[in-house]
Chain A
Amino acid sequence: MSARTRSEHRLGWLLCAPAAIAMLAVTAYPIGYALVLSVQKIDLRFPEESGFVGLQNYEAVLTSSLWWTDVFNTVFLSVISVSIELALGMAIALVMHKAIFGRGLVRTSVLIPYGIVTVVAAFSWQFAFAPDTGFVNQLPLIADDMDWFGGRFSSFAVIIMAEVWKTTPFMALLLLAGLTTIDRGLYDAAKVDGASAWQRFTKITLPLMKPAILVALLFRTLDAFRIFDTIFIMTAGAQNTESVSILGYNQLISRLNLGLGSAVSVLIFIAVLIIALIFVRGLGARQPDGGKA
């Protein structure tokens, strides 16, 4: 190895080190610490009772019905909202891609939800649906006294609405970026061969966009799985609408039960890992190296 390559290697590591340390300091170390906490009984309200308890915290979490309710809620909300986002996002991406006119207008309007603080969006939708302040119950076909936050699935409906509103733009932009990489000549060739618009979409667009779709789905699914802000503001978990992140927060910060809360944290981490692995499998050999394409 020449001196030049060696110094290039050293410079590369040197330049990456600060960022690498900053990223690991608040992820690798804390998750290790969470593992340590999760096998102990640590309740900051009763510090004298601390001690090693093995897997008892995990057993307590995994045998509680609350954990499984929250897992169901989180998966349910993620699947429904990401599905709607994919369909809507694809529609918006196609609209922007084939724009006859108004492409700029659509782009401008979809960026507005992206720029808005999630908590603010949650408040806006909550006030819109609240029976006392909201305009939604004044709309035709909706009962004037509909109590949206009084029931589990009506609360979910509003939560999903807010999530979809906030994150569809991101989905649409990622999909649009994928669309623009498709060679237009393929469509012309297919047209000449007599393919219908639907056939062109299912036989050309979808297969060629599979990587873009999977990347968008991966990011959004993981993001949806950590849903916290919207639920915290709208219901704070009332009516059985709690997500796993809210459960973790309640155990850790509200009840100061670091042992049990850390077990929840570790289980969420494992769940996210599994979801990521499934998607990475789906992406196949594609490497996340930023590409030189």
Chain B
Amino acid sequence: MAHSARERTLWSIGLLVVVLFALIPVVWIISLSLKTPATITDQSFIPTEFSLDNYKGLFEGGIAESPFIKPLINSLLIASITTFISIVLASFAAYAIARLDFPGRRLMLAGALAIAMFPPISTVGPLFDMWRTLGLYDTYPGLIIPYLTFSLPLAIYTLVAFFREIPWELEQAAQVDGATPFQAFRKVIVPLAAPGMFTAAILVFIFAWNDFLFAISLTSSDASRTVPAALAFFTGDSQFTQPTGNIAAAAVLVTVPIIIFVLLFQRRIVAGLTAGAVKG
């Protein structure tokens, strides 16, 4: 069907608006991070003078002095460990739900849905008290445990949706053709399940990387504070300078890798985000 010139123009304008709206805050924070201290309050959208001082400032003094390096390491490790454990546990549960027939299947899915709706603030107080008693306050496990809880529903729903699409008969077919059960699993099932698990892993990682509430409530120092929480505690070089430039630089550093990741795997992420919801 041919489209009129007017239709094409309207379309282009619509596209432009969506793209601009999505990009402006990102371009703005990058621009801010490249401004010099003298021009940071010049209110211009594009820097008039470029400098990398804000980035250098973040790494000054090495791991001991820098307000950014340790939180970055914390964020990376906590999000990675959460992702790994969450995907392992969710794979077990999702396999059972997708392939086995047992009473409690529906309960498990309904329960996971209920957890996904649970308000995290309602658990912050008790966890704060419990973690201090158990010695988990301001430690990695102290954050990883609540992240697991709240990422498992997401992982389970995504994986169930993917696992239901896997042609499991292929496993038997491979065994008929002479493969051992382990070979059938490794050469047939793993390659088929890997994309779904990878997608779920991306979603869980982004979830853990993004959390702020648990991170500021259950940590008190750089021992386990993650980047989003650390950003809220950034201070300027002196009490009279705003840490705007440093915050902007740190914000860019934690954002760019995720954006590249999201763009590289966008098809998977879209599939994962909508997998549970549409059919559920």
A: which residues have CB within 8 A of B?
A: 5, 8-9, 11-13, 15-16, 18-20, 22-23, 25-27, 29-31, 33-34, 37, 92, 95, 100-102, 105-121, 123-125, 127-128, 132-135, 137-138, 165, 169-170, 173-174, 176-178, 181, 212, 215-216, 218-219, 222, 225-226, 228-229, 232-233, 244-245, 248-249, 252-253, 258, 261-262, 265-266, 268-269, 272, 276, 287-293
B102 engages A248 (CB within 8 Å): no
Can you add 20 more A-B contacts, CB < 8 Å, to A117-B227, A135-B28, A177-B274? A12-B101, A19-B93, A23-B115, A25-B149, A27-B118, A95-B15, A107-B266, A111-B269, A116-B258, A120-B254, A120-B255, A123-B247, A128-B28, A165-B25, A170-B273, A178-B278, A252-B125, A265-B126, A266-B122, A291-B279
Q: Which 4 A-B pairs have the closest CB atoms?
A: A12-B102, A291-B279, A177-B274, A115-B262
Q: Which residue of B lies closest to A174 (CB)?
A: B277
B89 interface contact, C-beta 8 A: yes
B29 engages A123 (CB within 8 Å): yes
B117-132 to A contact mask, C-beta < 8 Å, 1/0: 1111111111111100
B64-81 to A contact mask, C-beta < 8 Å, 1/0: 000000000000000000
Counting residue pairs across A and B whose Cβ atoms lie within 8 Å, the total is 315
Q: Which residue of B lies closest to A230 (CB)?
A: B212
The interface residues of chain B lying within 8 Å CB-to-CB of A108 are 263, 266
B: which residues have CB within 8 A of A?
A: 3, 7-8, 11-12, 14-15, 18-19, 21-23, 25-26, 28-29, 32, 40-41, 43-45, 89-90, 92-93, 95-97, 100-106, 108-130, 145-146, 148-150, 152-153, 156-157, 160-161, 164, 206, 209-210, 212-213, 216-217, 227-228, 231-232, 242, 244, 247-248, 251, 254-255, 258-259, 261-263, 266, 269-270, 273-274, 276-280
Beyond A107-B270, A114-B262, whether A177 also contacts B277 by CB under 8 A is: yes
Q: Which residue of B lies closest to A94 (CB)?
A: B14
The interface residues of chain B lying within 8 Å CB-to-CB of A22 are 89, 145, 148-149, 152
B157 engages A133 (CB within 8 Å): no
The interface residues of chain B lying within 8 Å CB-to-CB of A134 are 43
Q: Which of B14, B22, B105, B152 meets A12, CB within 8 Å? A: B105
* Cβ of A248 to closest chain B Cβ, rounded Å: 5
* Cβ of A247 to closest chain B Cβ, rounded Å: 9
Q: Tell me the bound Cα distance from A293 to B165 in angstroms.
A: 12
Beyond A27-B123, A102-B11, whether A123 also contacts B149 by CB under 8 A is: no
Q: Tell me the bound Cα distance from A45 to B131 in angstroms.
A: 17
Helix, strand, loop or mixed for chain B's interface? helix
The interface residues of chain A lying within 8 Å CB-to-CB of B153 are 23
A288 engages B128 (CB within 8 Å): no
A132 engages B124 (CB within 8 Å): no
* Cβ of A123 to closest chain B Cβ, rounded Å: 6
Q: Tell me the bound Cα distance from A34 to B129 in angstroms.
A: 10
